[in-house]
Amino acid sequence: MAQSPSDAASGAKSHHDILRRMSLSSPNMQRQDSLADVDPRAANPSLGLSGGVISATFCIPHSLQLRSGANWGTNTRRGTSALFDSLKYLSSDKSPWNHTLVGWTGEITAPEEMTPPDTPPATTTASRIPPLNKSSAPIPIDGLTQPTEKPQSEGLWISKSDQSRLEWQLAHDKDCRTIPVWLSDDAEGGTEGAICLKDQSRWRRFAEHELYTLFHYKQHEPTNGVAERGSWADYYRLNQKFANRILEVYKPGDIVMIHDYHLLLLPSMLRQRIPHMYIAFFLHIPFPSSEFLRCLPRRKDVLEGVLGANLIGFQAHGYSRHFVSCCTRILGFPSDNTGVDAYGARVTVGVFPIGIDAAAIEKLAFDNPIIDDQVKALKAMYAGKNIIVGRDRLDSVRGVAQKLMAFERFLDRYPEWREKIVLLQVTSPTSIEEEKEDSNNKIANKVSELVAKINGVYGSLGHSPVQHYPQYLSQDEYFALLRAGDAGLITSVRDGMNTTSLEYVVCQRDDHGPLILSEFSGTAGSLKDAIHINPWDLTGVADAINYALTMSEDKKTAMQQSLYHHVTTRTVQAWSKGFVKRLLSVLTSHKSTIATPLLDKTALLTQYRAANKRLFMFDYDGTLTPIVRDPAAALPSERLIRTLKALVSDHRNAVWIISGRDQEFLQSQLGHIKELGFSAEHGSFMRHPGSTEWENLAEIFDMGWQKDVMACFQKYTEQTPGSFIERKRCALTWHYRPSDPELGAHMARECQKELENTVAKEWEVEVMTGKANLEVRPTFINKGEIVKRLIESYGHEVGQPPEFALCLGDDFTDEDMFRALNASSLEPEHVFTVTVGASSKMTLAQWHLLEPADVISSVALLNGGDGDVADLGALAMVEGRVPDELPGGVIPDELPGGKL
């Protein structure tokens, strides 16, 4: 047996032989892979896995009908079949995991009204399904009377017993143990646990109006933002309610797998509650470039939300590249093709093209005599003609209009095919809320017009080149359609996972009809041997259709064999195993790193409102104001001033600015707010609220060390153009931000070494590295000592220690504050330590915020000031409804970029 891969490759006759020999040469690796599949806990002992997997999807696999006092009616939900198949696999005996699904109930329907005995029952579903084109609505007999509209319901009441009955039914589901998430306003609850469901579709509105459209490169017309504010608050609450539901069943060592764009905030919300949780996220739709994502006002919130995961998966390489680019361009996080560095931890990014349950599809498609008969009937109906098949949802991203225009171009360029071909196009109603509200039926009308035009120009009395069926197909009809095709045509203009292409390959097992596939489909990167087309290039698509129809049998067979092998080996089962295995690998390699979670504003606001005594401690530079090249230019904004004034207006709030700045600067910029307390020069001086006198805490200390430090700083200032010295009463600071970055950093390291080997050994001082500066100060002076004083001072007043303490800072000098608070006697749940900034750093803080603007909006959420629309979500979660205003007044209009 070969002892190494190179030995295995020696003498091999083909690349297949190389792979076979290498597999034989690695028995230990084979055993490890086998163990990982059979018993992941044994294969990864350091992770302490429980064996449980919790999947979170927006909707459960069933559509529900309420039958009050009886078992609920359930039907299989349409769409996302690959996702539901993966959940079914994880719940099966073939999987080593104990699987639980958490998902929203979806819109629950009420029982249909009983038909009067003398009225013949409806024999079709046509009366219950609204027409795709509103012009086809029934016309009154007298031509004048308008159809009566059913009055809007006040809501659907679900009793506690009915809720419990559904939960029992879903918990005992034969395919997958399911736990429903009930979505309603807290104020809509009734007595004895009953809930009232109103406007149920609002929970999907932000995701499907804002995210789905933008992620598919579509932009809305500008609006006043009122509707978007409410839908954002609902989106935030939706994710928070999912987090609450998951935590009800979570056990330490469980893996949480979160799916798709409805739940982008959920990873961070779970990370806030359990920092060590194992979280994977998979996006089933495309991810846009940074140029498009920047158009989304909530862009930061969305990115920070999903970065709570350990592993983020995408359908295609382009989508993963866009994501890491957005994290760098929008959030400022370092990234590469494999992941993002965020707040002390690595978030891994990967590409995991999803598959289908190929074996089940093949069995359904070929082991049913009814389907066999339907295939024969279709081929007999169009005998002597080639059949091109298409099945798409009727929305703007599926490219049905582009398909029809390309087919028209094909008939024009290749007239010999006009009587020999037919396009069977089935369009089912879209499931996307945004597309459903196409009030003018623009897409449906466009498709209908194109079909009529093509058949009018290129058809005849005996033949129509396009057969368009705007309807749902039964499963049997769908598989018969795919089997009957001589070519499959998919022209998506932007798509995540397109399972139709995969199912078509399986259904062409015997006939080898070529697949023509849009390069913008998420499956295009996987199905490399398909005929790839650009749906916007109508002539190119026309030529591809001709190529597919004239392809030799040998080429068809070779294409089909390659595609069939891919689809039947890269199944949804293989995808599930591979995704979980990759997560375990990531967790093992990054076991020692823990990310600092995003500040939980819901918990912050809840504790603030419950407290009667509150203590606030803010750093200044990089926390309340952005870092600038010239420190003198770091002036407080009007927004900051208004927010601080609102905060100190509540007598229960003690607010302190604890900065490295000197007394003069703090006095000149913020001294007019009399209720503020100040600590200058990292704790050397204090000024209490309401006082004008500064207390010198370092007056007994010998400052003779400053002469030696000044000489050293002066030497490096002369060698570093642009640098300068700032002299404070108790500290000296050398700034090099205006200098060349590389030269400044190098000189700072040299200066630090010199000071540590000279002055620091002779005097009780420490050399501190800051953001583009070096500072020397006495060792006993630091921000942590001030924090200790404040806690002790406020603890001796009436009411004992503060019941709420919020401390924010951005650099290493602020770690002294976090350390002091963590070691204090305050209740841990009463303390919020927050580091500010995008750099990936280890910190003693419990939470993080991205930038000073987020600090201001977070503080404004508590007691007024200049708030941020993003914080409506946290406020709605605390109040149990979408509020009409933020604390301190009505919600102001939004400015570009999402700030107020």
Rounded CA gap, 892 and 900, in Å? 7
Return the exposure string of 572-588: e unless at least 16 CB atoms fall within 10 Å of the residue's CB, then b. bbebbbbbbbbbbebbe
- Put the strands of the sheet holding 52-59 in their side by side order: 178-181, 98-104, 52-59, 255-259, 278-282, 311-314, 345-351, 339-342, 335-336
The pLDDT of residue 522 is: 82
Measured CA to CA, the distance from residue 362 to residue 696 in angstroms comes to 82
C-alpha dist (Å) from residue 264 to 164, 311, 598:
28, 13, 14
Q: Name the CATH topology of 601-697+781-879.
A: Rossmann fold (3.40.50)
Domain ranges of the chain: 46-61+78-108+200-351, 363-568, 601-697+781-879, 704-778
What three-state secondary structure class fits 349? Answer: strand
Of 303, 308, 300, give the one whose Cα is nearest residue 347. Answer: 308
Arithmetic mean of pLDDT, 221-229: 76
Q: Are strands 765-770 and 732-735 parallel, antiparallel or unpaired?
A: unpaired
Q: At residue 251, what are phi and psi to the nearest 5 degrees?
A: -125, 145
Is residue 822 a contact partner of residue 833, using CB atoms and an 8 Å limit?
yes
pLDDT in tens, 786-810: 998 898 888 655 456 789 999 999 9
Q: Which residue has the higher pLDDT, 122 or 195?
A: 195
Helix (H, G, I), strand (E, B) or coil at 517: strand
pLDDT for 18 equals 42
pLDDT given at position 412: 93
- For 46-61+78-108+200-351, CATH number out of 3.40.50.2000, 3.40.50.720, 3.90.230.10, 3.30.565.10 equals 3.40.50.2000
Q: What is the pLDDT of residue 863?
A: 84
pLDDT classification of 866: cutoffs 50, 70, 90 = low
pLDDT-derived band at 678, boundaries 50, 70, 90: very high
Residue 797 has what pLDDT? 53
Residue 527 backbone dihedrals phi, psi, to 5 degrees = -90, 70
Given this chain, do its domains 46-61+78-108+200-351 and 704-778 carry the same CATH topology?
Answer: no
What mean pLDDT comes out for the span 270-275? 92
Kindly give the residue spans of alpha helices, DSSP state H, lying in 414-532: 433-436, 442-458, 475-484, 499-507
pLDDT value for 307: 94
pLDDT for residue 716: 94
| Best mean pLDDT range from 188-197, 507-516, 624-633 | 507-516
* pLDDT higher than 60, residue 856: yes
Q: Helix or strand or coil: residue 226?
A: helix
What is the average per-residue pLDDT within 295-319? Answer: 93
Task: Grade residue 5 by pLDDT with cuts at 50, 70 and 90.
Answer: very low
657: Cα separation from own chain's centroid: 35
In whole angstroms, give the CA distance from residue 164 to residue 152.
27
User: What's the pLDDT score for residue 889?
Assistant: 52
Query: Which residue has better confidence, 507 or 125?
Result: 507
Q: Is the model's pLDDT at 718 over the cut of 70?
A: yes
Q: Rounded to an integer, what distance in angstroms lies between the CA atom of residue 279 and that of residue 155?
A: 36
Average pLDDT, the chain: 85
Give the pair of three-digit tokens for residue 556: 């068809």
| pLDDT score at 382 | 92
- The most confident of the ranges 135-149, 205-219, 586-600 is 205-219
Q: Cα(147)–Cα(651) distance, rounded to whole angstroms? A: 61
The H-or-E segment that residue 313 falls in is strand 311-314
For residues 581-604, give the mean pLDDT. Answer: 87
* Nearest to 110, CA basis, from 69, 71, 74, 156: 156
Of 196-200, 335-339, 435-439, the range with the lowest mean pLDDT is 435-439
Half-sphere exposure of 170 (CA within 13 A, CB side): 27
Residue from 854, 856, 860, 866 nearest 892 by CA:
866
Architecture of domain 363-568: 3-Layer(aba) Sandwich (3.40)
pLDDT grade, residue 431 (50/70/90)?
low
DSSP type of residue 391 = E
Fold for 704-778, please state it. Hypothetical Protein Ta0175; Chain: A, domain 2 (3.90.1070)
* Three-state secondary structure string covering 64-113: EECCCCCCCEEEECCCCHHHHHHHHHHCCCCCCCEEEEEEECCCCECCCC
Can you give the pLDDT at residue 701?
72
Strands 885-886 and 889-890: antiparallel
C-alpha separations of 253 from 54, 113, 322, 493 in Å: 11, 48, 31, 41
What pLDDT is recorded for position 217?
87
pLDDT of residue 615: 94
Report the pLDDT value the prediction gives residue 122, as an integer from 0 to 100. 39
Residue 227 pLDDT > 60: yes
Where would I find the H helices in 570-626? 572-589, 601-610
User: Residue 510 to residues 141, 303, 556: CA-CA distances in angstroms?
Assistant: 53, 46, 11
pLDDT at 436: 54
